[in-house]
Each structure stands twice: as structure tokens, then as C-alpha cells.
Structure 1
């Protein structure tokens, strides 16, 4: 064999070996609005430091994610990395052997027990997803409208309704943008937003799990009663208004207040032409303790069936690092790092939300841990009840009674 041919064969072999050495990992996620952030910021940062490992971010529409992911996992076609919802949905995947145990991962030392709790077994013996971020509930407002109408940011419930009444009386703007069509909106951005103020955050949530508190108690019915009062300030046709409709009403400057959470910051920033502000859920009476839903929202796990466990773990170690925390929190303002290393955020609205941690007691959404494992599912039933109360088709008392009957029918501590 002559020398040129030999060299060509050698080069060909080397190229083939290099190509074989490249491993491609696929990330499953419901956050389809994050695609650009992963492609332009996160993935390039990892790949630059880890030649030979390539990543593909392959999201599914949020409403379809659970069903699609379960089908892929059952068929053995799911990606190597699984974006994890908090608590029961991911715990079920772990219990079925679909998510790997990541307890021994070195990066887990960078997270507190509270941060890891949303992705652990009930006894805390196994952690199966690396925590990424939490979101904080509250109210975003159009600061230009507030200035124009001479409105002060409300701190108490009475002040909150006084502001809504002034906006309504002036008549130029819808006081508050929220619809009842999608149901989850009324629950997540309504009931779960203001509710912790009434049931005293973790105290009430844990009492419900323990069975020492019931959904017919005043602490759980009262936020429904407050929610029912919102309907006078939501504008015409709110009953048929969807979540995107509500977003548009606010970003177009037609509504003054938007009950929501920090997850909207990155969505709204490029859309609005006015200054935005945010305020925490108002307390019932001046001097009361402030409570916020600081909800552990998103994490990343390893498909137990991945063909590339070592490379997947290497990426997860990076996801648990301070470098990733800083990149993610600033690329996606409003999703707050759960890493123990403090992250400096550049977005002022995100900084406003996270500042409430200094003055308010944190909790998570009341239905997410343990209480939605049975049928009827308390999370989904709370969506329906909140929308009904908002529309006025169900009284707060009847909503509480129905939810309690459903929970009592399968959850032993509530029987």
C-alpha cells in the first residue's frame, strides 16, 4: 500500500473515531418558550468546556408534556435528560423506575434540603432531579397607569380593593387582567397567589397534609371569598377570556394590574412599552405577617434508561453549579436559582420579586405535595373551583365543601 493511500485511510479512521466519540444528549422539557435561551446561552457554555458532548433541547407543549413524556419513557424513546415538574408527577416517574437516583451526585451539596424536597422521596432518602429554579407569585402592575391615576402600591387587602375601585371609576383601563376560561389561571394566579396569607403558608399547608385542617375551614374558604370579589374588576367577558388574552390585555397597556408570578417577566420585558412594577400579595390587616408562594418549579433529572449515563451525569453536575445558576437566572429573569450560591440578578423587576424573601414567609402551592395523588385530583379540582368562584357559579363555601369531600374520599388523614 503506498504512502498517500495509507495516510488517507489513517485520516479516515481518525475522523470516524472522533465522530464516534461525540455523544449527543437530548433534553425533554415543557418549557417550549426557553428554546432560544438553551440554544444561544446554556448549551454553548457547556459544550465549549466539554468537547465531545453535544446537547439538543427538544421541548413539548406544556399541556402535552406529561402525556408525551410518559409515552416516550414507556416506549424507550425519551431523551437522556428529563425536565422535572415538582413533587408528585416526578416522584411517580421515579417510583416507576423512569428517573435515576441522583443522591450521590456531587452537585447536590449545593442545594438546601428545602430546595431538594420537591424532587425527593417522602422520607428524603433519595433525590432524583437537580433543582434549577423557583418562581414567586405576586402582582405585576403598569407603573405608568399608577402614576397617571395617582395610585399607591397597596399593602393591605382594603388598599388593594380601593385601588381597583379607583381604576374602575376612572374608566380608562381594566383594573385587573384575569380570565376564567383556562381554569388553572384562576387557581394558580388567584387562589394560590393570595391563599397563603389566609392559611398562614407552610403552617396551613402542612396541617392539611396532616389532616388537622380541612378545606371547609375559614382559612381555606376565605381566599375563595376574596377571589369572588375580583370579578367586578376583571372587565367585560372575562368568563371566556383565556390566559393569552389576559397577557395581551396587560402588555398592550389596557389593564393596570396583572395577578401572576415572576415567570412572566422574561415574557413581558420585550413586549411592553411602559414601566412595570410588582407588589406582594396584600396582607389582610396592617401589621400581619406577609406570605408568598415561592414555589419550587423546575429541575432536571436523568432518564434511567439513558445509554449515556456518565455524560448525562457530567451535564447534571454542571446544572448544579454556580456558573449555570448565574447564566440561567439572568437569561430567564423571574426563575430564581435554588443554588446555595447567591446569584446577582440584573433585571430590576426580578430583583423586586426576590426581595420579598427578606420580609415574607415562603411556602409552596398547597396542592402539589401528596394531596393530588388520588382521584379526584385536588390540583385539578382547585382549578375548576377557583374558576367557578371567579365566575360566580359556585359559592366559596360550596367550593370548599366539594374539594373537601373529594380529598376525604381517598386521603386517609382527611377521612
Structure 2
């Protein structure tokens, strides 16, 4: 694990304070040090560092040390282990929704229901960090995200392409891009979690066709392998692989490679969550205007819409020995000042879910492209993991296999149904 420690050398100033204390007998409060665990990645680290810097400036008696952890299933296991062994940091960032439920929040996390700042947190977020006893255990960390496809605007302009609203149109664009000798779809299985997007971002299309899918899925009566609409996400992953649209190094390429490729024009499309906009701003500020975004297309242009992810949550484990300071930091994150610090760190990647937080006028094109889905008349809906507590932990390994031609889409869907069954049984859900 990498630990980034934020310390300021104030030797001379500290000596002055000691001298002043000796002369006047004044009493100075000892500073508190918090630890803050976040996922690794340039975008998340940049945001955390700006939040900590701003918070420490306003709270000089509290110092915060940032720790990083891996993403994906490795990171999930680490979070669960640290909670179970009472070794979790004082504050940590983690998923909301189904993965939040999987860490047993009622047992391990501090109840934040009655904190004053909760009055400004939108209810749509509160419901995805609410434990089984009805208590709210987290605050929003980041902006609402869309799951869809980044695209290189320069390539689209060069080849005369238009943003697709159906899967057939998307595949036609890919064929033209491939014919021009360019990479049509970037995949980055070196970071296995990135392989899931074609499946997960297709959920708006599933719900548009079958509004009751989430309820039936949770009840154990709807399955990916036996529902042709739900299986389409796996099919789309296989179709793009079979067509030869991926970059040659898709098996080893990493998330950061994907961002570089779509920003620079090395690749035309990169399926991803829109939180990545801040990472592109941080790493490729001169190229951000080249990057646009659209929702993953379905089969009906009239029902084109966006699958939406709630932000991560920021949580306090009940093992912290610095509860008051930890609550103060969480309150800062959930404030207008906290939103502004996040925006300063890497720009806004989407709408914040805290009342009073606004977006600057000069947001990147990828953010501008996302906002119509949230406007009046726009079409969007939550990802499945925010409508159901079930998300099988092996999905990213299964989608790597389907997206690498190792396993057919139908077999991948069936294997995921089995993974989901195990997860549902662990959660004690009826009907499983």
C-alpha cells in the first residue's frame, strides 16, 4: 500500500510557539491526525489532496494523512478486511449502493443520519448509503456519473460521423473507424474493473424495455442468461471483440492508457464512467476539448438514455479514535466549499448531489454532453447496483473473458447468474 503523508515543516514556527507558551503560560491544543483511505488513481488522489489542503487551512488543528488502495475486487477485499480487523482508516472513500450494503454498514460504520449537513444532501443519494436499519451512514464524495462511451471528437469530425443513438449506428461508426486504420474501441483489461462497462452501462436500455427487471432480479426471478434484453450487454461486449475493434494491447492496457488514447486520438471510443473526466483534465488538459461523451446506445433511438451512477460515499468506521475530527472532515466534504475544492482539483465531471453546489460555466465538453440527459425531458435512470443490493463480485473477471473471446456471451451471462446467486445468499435475500 502506498501512503502519502501530508506534513508541513514548521520547525521555526513551532519553536516560537513553545517560547510563547513558556513566557505566557498559554495552553495550546494538541493537533489531531486523521487517516483518509481512497482508491488509487491520479484523479482520486488529486481531489483528495485538494480537499485535505483546503480543510487543513480552515482547521489548522487537524492534519490528514492520505492512504491509497487498489480498485476493483482487490480493493473491495481490502476494505472488508480492514473493517473486519478494526484497522480501517479514520475516514474512507468507497462505493455506494450494492457494494456499500456488502460491507455491513450497520455493524461497521458510524451513523450520520442526524448530522446537520444531511439537510443539504439530496435524497437520491441518501437512499444508496442507507443501512438496513434505515440509518444514513455516508456523505456524497464526487459528482453523479454517467456510464457510457467517451469519444474522440476530432476523429468523428475527420470521418464525418455523428453521435449514435442506436447500437447499430454505433457499430456502423466503428466499422468506418476501423476501415480508416484507427482503433475503434479502447479496452483496458490490465485494470479488470474497466471491462464491465458494456454490461453495466446497458442497464438503462434494460429498464426502458423491462421496468420491473430490478425488482424481479432482486427476487431471484429474473436472470441475465434467460432474459434476452438483459443479456444484450454481454452480447455487445462479444460483438465488439469479434469485429476486431479493440486496441492490440487491450489485455494489458490500463485505465490511464485508455484515457490517453481517447484524448489523443489513438482510439475513437472508450467505454467508461464520467468520473474519468477529471482524470483527463488533470493529465491531458490541452486535449480535454477533444473528448465528448454519449450514453451507451440501445436498439430504439426514441428510448436513448443514460445509465447513472451515484457518487461514492465517504464513511467513518466505528473504530475511529478521532470521531469529532472525522465528522468535521466529512461535513466539509459535504459542503459547498467541499464541492468547490473538488472542482478546483480536476474540474466538474457531473452534477453534485449537495444543495447549493453548482458547476462552472466552462465545464469540459464531456460534461456538457452529459447534462441534457439530466435536463427536463432528458432520459436517465440509476444503474442496477443502486436499485438492487446484488452485484456479483466476479463480474469483472467474467467480462474480461467475454471481451477477450475466451467465453461466449451466453456462457458469461450464465456464469454471472451463478455469481449473483452466491451473493444473494450471503445477503440472506428471500427467494434465493
**TM-score (ref. length: structure 1):** 0.84
Give distance in 1, aligned partners of 2:214 and 2:115.
30
Question: Which residue, out of 74, 77, 91, partners 1:81?
Answer: 91
Q: Is the 8 A contact 2:189 2:253 kept in 1?
A: yes
Q: Is the 8 A contact 1:164 1:233 kept in 2?
A: no
Q: Is the 8 A contact 2:35 2:67 kept in 1?
A: yes
* CA distance 1:268–1:217, shift in 2 (3 Å): same
**Over alpha carbons, which structure has the higher Rg?**
1
Question: Which residue, out of 221, 239, 245, partners 1:234?
Answer: 245
Q: Is the 8 A contact 2:37 2:89 kept in 1?
A: yes
What secondary structure, in the 3-state scheme, does the structure 2 residue paired with 1:146 have? helix
2:320 pairs with 1:306: yes
2:205 pairs with 1:197: yes
* CA distance 1:70–1:208, shift in 2 (3 Å): closer
1:107-140 CA distance string (max 9 Å, x none): 11112332012211135x1111112233211211
Q: CA deviation at 1:243?
A: 2.9
Q: CA deviation at 1:197?
A: 0.9
What secondary structure, in the 3-state scheme, does the structure 1 residue paired with 2:374 have? helix
Give distance in 1, aligned partners of 2:405 and 2:250.
10
Q: CA deviation at 1:10?
A: 7.0
Q: CA deviation at 1:315?
A: 2.1
* CA distance 1:44–1:364, shift in 2 (3 Å): same
Residue number in structure 2 paired with 1:388: 401
Q: CA deviation at 1:96?
A: 6.7
Q: CA deviation at 1:102?
A: 0.8
Q: CA deviation at 1:45?
A: 2.3
Give distance in 2, aligned partners of 1:302 and 1:364.
25
Structure 1 residue ranges without an equivalent (≥5) = 1-7, 373-377
Give distance in 1, aligned partners of 2:211 and 2:57.
42
Q: Is the 8 A contact 2:155 2:268 kept in 1?
A: yes
Q: Is the 8 A contact 1:135 1:261 kept in 2?
A: yes
Q: CA deviation at 1:330?
A: 4.7
2:353 pairs with 1:338: yes
* CA distance 1:227–1:48, shift in 2 (3 Å): same
Note the aligned Cα RMSD (angstroms).
Answer: 3.0
Give distance in 2, aligned partners of 1:402 and 1:65.
22
State which drifts further: 78-87 or 149-158. Answer: 78-87
2:271 pairs with 1:259: yes
Residue number in structure 2 paired with 1:360: 379
Q: Is the 8 A contact 2:193 2:396 kept in 1?
A: yes
Question: Which residue, out of 279, 283, 289, partners 2:294?
Answer: 279
Q: Is the 8 A contact 1:177 1:247 kept in 2?
A: no
Give distance in 2, aligned partners of 1:184 and 1:140.
17
2:363 pairs with 1:347: yes
Residue number in structure 1 paired with 2:127: 117
1:157-183 CA distance string (max 9 Å, x none): 221111111112222x11111145544
**TM-score (ref. length: structure 2):** 0.81
Q: Is the 8 A contact 1:86 1:297 kept in 2?
A: yes
What secondary structure, in the 3-state scheme, does the structure 2 residue paired with 1:337 have? coil
1:263-311 CA distance string (max 9 Å, x none): 22122233264722111222312212x3322112312111212222222
What secondary structure, in the 3-state scheme, does the structure 2 residue paired with 1:154 have? coil
1:369-405 CA distance string (max 9 Å, x none): 4214xxxxx231x223323332333333323333334
Q: Is the 8 A contact 1:27 1:80 kept in 2?
A: yes
Give distance in 2, aligned partners of 1:148 and 1:61.
38
* CA distance 1:73–1:404, shift in 2 (3 Å): closer
* CA distance 1:341–1:206, shift in 2 (3 Å): farther
* CA distance 1:224–1:69, shift in 2 (3 Å): closer
1:234-272 CA distance string (max 9 Å, x none): 246356243344444334422111111212212223326
Give distance in 2, aligned partners of 1:43 and 1:214.
44
Residue number in structure 2 paired with 1:36: 46
